[in-house]
Amino acid sequence: MSWTDERVESLKKLWQDGLSASQIAKQLGGVTRNAVIGKVHRLGLSGRAAPSKPARPAFKAPRPQRPAATAPSAPRRIAEPVAAEAAQTPAPTRYVDEEPGSATVLTLGAHMCKWPIGDPSSDGFTFCGRRASEGPYCVEHAKVAYQPAQAKKRSGGSDLARSLRRYI
């Protein structure tokens, strides 16, 4: 198919009317969308009367604020203090600067503490080497390795009501 003068004039008119390349190709017949785009580019057609897609608004209006929840008429129940439980659990012991251990990979025995000390890629890397009492670690390193499980917060009726309010 060749571009005749008549078809080129029709292309220019449809392009200025704001039709898309696909729509123009359908109306002209026997030509693809890409052929229309190529011809428009070669002809140097730029300005269109209307864009094929409406422009998105530059400014989006802010959402109205949600109304503040009104206070319930019944007195609220005070939650059980969780801070008291947290105060009872001892803080874990952290070792910042440890002395080099007495055991290496070659001398580490079955009942020796296997707590690594130092950087494994350095020559000074050792293990604690003290007598293991709780699993693979000595008492001090076991306190760091095995932290007590955190107590789960009990959810009461107020938590259920609060979570349901999101969906209402």
- pTM more than 0.85: no
Looking at the structure of the chain, the number of domains it has is 2
Q: Is residue 106 part of a domain?
A: yes
Q: Round to whole Å and give the CA distance between 96 and 17.
A: 75
Is 112 within the bounds of a domain? yes
Residue 137, domain member (yes or no) = yes
Lowest mean pLDDT: which of 26-30, 127-131, 162-166? 162-166
Is 153 part of any domain? no
Is 164 within the bounds of a domain?
no
Taking 90 as the threshold, does the pLDDT of residue 9 lie above it? yes
Q: Is residue 125 part of a domain?
A: yes
For residue 157, being part of any structural domain is answered with no
Domain extent, residue 34, equals 5-43
Contact 128, 114 (CB under 8 A): yes
